[in-house]
C-alpha cells in the first residue's frame, strides 16, 4: 500500500488479485479482479494475477507488481491500464538469475526500491528464501542474499543508514541485512515463538510479521497478521511495543483498546498510519 503517484490524494493498494486506488469514498480497479485468480496479460479488469503480494511504483505511470501464485512480476501502465509480463516465468516457479526472460522466482512477496545502489528493485523471493536484485537499467536479475531458513516477507531500508535493510520473516523474526558486511543478523524475535510479547529486543516475539515501514527517525511499524496488532520497533531504545491489544475485530478507539482484523499492509500518509486489513483500510492519526 502506497500513496498513489498517478492520482495524488489517493492510496494505491492490492486487494486480493487486483490493484486498486481509493480516496476513501471512491474506489477504482486499476488492473485485475479481486476475486478471480489466474494469469493473463490485459487491460484493466481483463488482466489476471494470482495474489498481488507486493508492488512498487517506479514513477507515476509505471508499477511493478508481484504475482505471488504465478511466480512472476508484471508491469502496469497507469495511462493505458495495460498489465504485461515483466520478469520471471509466469506459472513456472524456479530459481534462476540472468536476464528478465531467463530469470525465475518462487512466490515473490514484496518489492522495494533499491536505495543502496539506486539502480533498480529488491525483491523478497519467499519460496527461494532469498533477496533478489532487479537492475532496471541492465534488465538483469541477481541474488543479494539467500539462506534456507530465511523466509523473507517485508522489507524497509534504514532511512538513517542506507547500508542496512530490515526484513520481516515468516519464521516470526525481524532481521537486519548489512550491505557493507554482506551479513544477516537478528534484530528481535525468537524462532517459531508466536506469542507476540512486547519488551526489549532480547525478549520480544512476533506472530507472523508482514510489512515493515519507517515512521520517523529510528521508529518503525510492523504489521502482525496473526496477532491482530501493529508492532512499533524502536531501534534507538531497542524495544517492541504494540498498537491494539490483539483482539480481532473492527472497533475503533485508542491504541490500548482498539481492534484490528488481520492487518497486512501499511502506509504513512500526512502523518497518519494507514493499515490495510482483511476487509478495509483503517487509519491511526498523528504518528
Condensed to tens digits (0 to 9), the pLDDT of residues 234-273 reads 999 999 999 999 999 999 989 889 999 999 999 998 889 9
Cβ contacts of 146 within 8 Å, gap of 6 or more: 128, 129, 130, 131
Q: Is the pLDDT of residue 194 over 90?
A: no
pLDDT reported for residue 286: 66
Residue in this structure with the C-alpha cell 504489521, named with its chain if needed: 223
Tally of CB atoms within 10 A around 5: 16
pTM score of the predicted model: 0.95
Q: Is the pLDDT of residue 278 over 90?
A: no
d(CA 143, CA 145): 6
pLDDT in tens, 120-175: 999 999 999 999 999 999 999 999 999 999 999 999 999 999 999 999 999 999 99
pLDDT of residue 117: 86
Q: What are phi and psi of 81, to 5 degrees?
A: 65, 25
The backbone torsions φ and ψ at residue 202, rounded to the nearest 5 degrees and listed phi first, read -70, -20
Contact present, 29 and 14 (Cβ < 8 Å): no
Q: What pLDDT, in 10s, does the model give residues 29-82?
A: 999 999 999 999 999 999 999 999 999 999 999 999 999 999 999 999 999 999
Coil, strand or helix at 116: coil
Segment 24-39, tens digit of pLDDT? 999 999 999 999 999 9
What DSSP designation does 260 have?
Answer: B
pLDDT, residue 279, reads: 84
Q: What 8-state DSSP symbol labels residue 48?
A: B
The C-alpha cell at 235 is 531501534
At residue 287, the pLDDT reads 60
Decide if pLDDT at 196 tops 90: no
Mean pLDDT for 86-100 is: 98
Contact 286, 271 (CB under 8 A): yes
Amino acid at each position: 500500500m502506497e500513496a498513489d503517484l498517478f492520482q495524488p490524494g489517493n492510496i494505491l493498494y492490492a486487494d486480493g488479485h487486483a490493484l486498486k486506488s481509493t480516496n476513501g469514498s471512491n474506489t477504482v480497479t486499476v488492473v485485475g479482479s479481486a476475486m478471480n485468480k489466474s494469469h493473463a496479460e490485459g487491460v484493466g479488469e481483463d488482466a489476471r494475477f494470482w495474489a498481488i503480494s507486493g508492488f512498487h511504483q517506479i514513477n507515476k505511470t509505471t508499477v511493478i507488481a508481484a504475482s505471488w501464485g504465478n511466480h512472476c512480476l508484471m508491469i502496469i501502465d497507469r495511462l493505458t491500464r495495460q498489465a504485461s509480463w515483466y520478469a520471471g516465468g509466469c506459472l513456472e516457479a524456479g530459481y534462476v538469475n540472468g536476464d528478465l526472460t531467463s530469470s525465475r522466482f518462487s512466490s515473490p512477496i514484496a518489492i522495494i526500491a533499491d536505495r543502496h545502489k539506486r539502480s533498480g528493485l529488491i525483491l523478497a523471493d519467499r519460496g527461494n528464501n532469498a533477496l533478489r536484485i532487479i537492475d532496471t537499467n541492465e534488465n538483469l536479475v541477481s541474488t543479494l542474499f539467500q539462506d534456507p531458513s530465511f523466509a523473507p516477507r517485508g522489507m524497509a531500508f534504514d532511512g538513517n543508514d542506507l547500508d542496512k535493510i530490515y526484513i520481516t520473516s515468516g519464521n516470526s523474526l525481524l532481521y537486519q541485512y548489512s550491505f557493507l558486511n554482506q551479513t544477516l543478523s537478528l534484530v528481535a524475535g525468537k524462532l517459531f515463538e508466536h506469542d507476540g510479547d512486547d519488551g526489549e529486543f532480547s525478549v520480544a516475539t512476533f506472530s507472523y510479521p508482514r510489512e515493515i515501514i519507517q515512521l520517523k527517525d529510528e521508529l518503525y511499524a510492523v504489521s502482525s497478521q496473526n496477532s491482530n496488532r501493529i508492532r512499533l520497533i524502536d531501534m534507538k531504545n531497542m524495544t517492541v511495543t504494540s498498537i491494539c491489544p490483539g483482539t480481532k475485530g473492527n472497533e475503533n478507539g485508542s491504541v490500548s483498546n482498539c481492534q484490528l482484523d488481520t492487518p497486512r499492509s501499511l502506509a504513512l500518509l500526512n502523518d497518519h498510519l494507514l493499515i490495510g486489513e482483511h476487509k478495509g483500510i483503517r487509519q491511526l492519526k498523528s504518528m
